[in-house]
C-alpha cells in the first residue's frame, strides 16, 4: 500500500486527508485539520512558521509516500480577492510544499481544483462534480468521513477543508493507482 497525505491549504485552516491505496483499492485512513495562529496573533512569518511546525509533525509521524496539495488559483476574479489575500494564500501554499520537502524529502504533487473534480468524476463514473458537490461526494465515497457538527447542529467549517484535502489525496491515488509496480513508483 502507498500512503498519500492531501493538503487543502489556507492561512486559517489546513485540512489534511490521508489515503492508502494499491492497484485494487483506495482507503481513507485519517483526516483532520491544523489551525495556524490568526492574523491577530502575529506576523505572517510567525503564523507561517507555526503552521509549518504542525504540518512537519504530521508528515514525520505519518511517513507518507507522497504529499499532494490543492494548487492555489493562478487567476483570481476581479473584486473577489485582494492582492494581500493572494499573497498570503500563495505564501502558505508554497510554505507547506517547502515543509514537505524539508521534513520528509518529498516534493508535493499539485492538482488544480478543476483537475481534482474531473479526475474524481471520471473515476466514480459520475457527471461533472461541482465545487459545491465535492463535500457530499467525499462523504458518500468514504463512509468513515464523519463531519464535525457544531453546537448549533451545523457542519463545522473545518469539515469542508478536511473534505477538500481528502479529495486532493483521492485524486492523487486515482492518478497513481495504475502506476503501482512500475519501476520507481
Q: Is residue 23 part of a domain?
A: yes
**DSSP per residue, 128-181:** PPPTTTHHHHHHHH-TT----B-TTSSBPHHHHHHHHHHHHHHHHHHHHHTTTT
Q: Is residue 183 part of a domain?
A: no
Domain limits for position 111: 2-177
| Structural domains counted in the chain | 1
Q: Is residue 53 part of a domain?
A: yes
Task: Give the integer Cα–Cα distance in Å for 42 and 36.
Answer: 11
- Contact between 7 and 67 (Cβ < 8 Å): yes
pLDDT tens for each residue of 7-64:
999 999 999 999 999 999 999 999 999 999 988 899 999 999 999 999 999 999 999 9
- In the predicted structure, residue 78 carries a pLDDT above the cut 70: no
- Contact between 157 and 13 (Cβ < 8 Å): yes
Q: Is residue 22 part of a domain?
A: yes
pTM over 0.85: yes
Q: Is residue 185 part of a domain?
A: no
CATH of the domain at 144: 3.30.420.10
**Distance of CA 92 to CAs 99, 105, 128, 145, Å?**
10, 18, 29, 25
Q: Is residue 76 part of a domain?
A: yes
Q: Is residue 44 part of a domain?
A: yes
Q: Is residue 19 part of a domain?
A: yes
- In the predicted structure, residue 123 carries a pLDDT above the cut 70: yes
Per-residue pLDDT at 185: 43
Q: How far apart are the first and last CA of the chain?
A: 12
Amino acid at each position: 500500500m502507498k500512503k498519500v497525505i492531501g493538503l487543502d491549504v489556507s492561512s486559517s485552516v489546513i485540512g489534511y486527508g490521508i489515503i492508502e491505496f494499491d492497484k485494487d483499492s483506495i482507503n481513507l485512513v485519517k483526516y483532520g485539520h491544523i489551525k495556524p495562529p490568526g492574523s491577530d496573533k502575529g506576523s505572517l512569518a510567525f503564523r507561517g512558521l507555526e503552521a509549518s511546525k504542525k504540518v512537519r509533525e504530521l508528515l514525520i509521524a505519518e511517513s507518507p509516500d507522497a504529499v499532494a496539495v490543492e494548487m492555489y488559483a493562478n487567476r483570481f476574479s476581479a473584486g473577489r480577492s485582494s492582492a494581500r489575500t493572494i499573497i498570503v494564500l500563495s505564501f502558505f501554499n508554497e510554505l507547506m510544499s517547502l515543509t514537505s520537502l524539508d521534513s520528509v524529502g518529498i516534493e508535493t504533487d499539485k492538482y488544480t481544483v478543476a483537475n481534482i473534480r474531473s479526475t474524481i468524476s471520471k473515476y466514480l463514473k459520475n457527471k461533472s462534480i461541482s465545487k459545491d458537490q465535492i463535500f457530499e461526494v467525499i462523504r458518500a465515497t468514504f463512509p468513515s468521513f464523519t463531519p464535525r457538527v457544531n453546537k448549533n447542529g451545523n457542519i463545522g467549517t473545518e469539515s469542508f477543508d478536511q473534505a477538500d484535502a481528502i479529495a486532493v489525496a483521492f485524486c492523487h491515488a486515482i492518478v497513481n493507482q495504475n502506476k503501482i509496480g512500475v519501476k520507481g513508483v
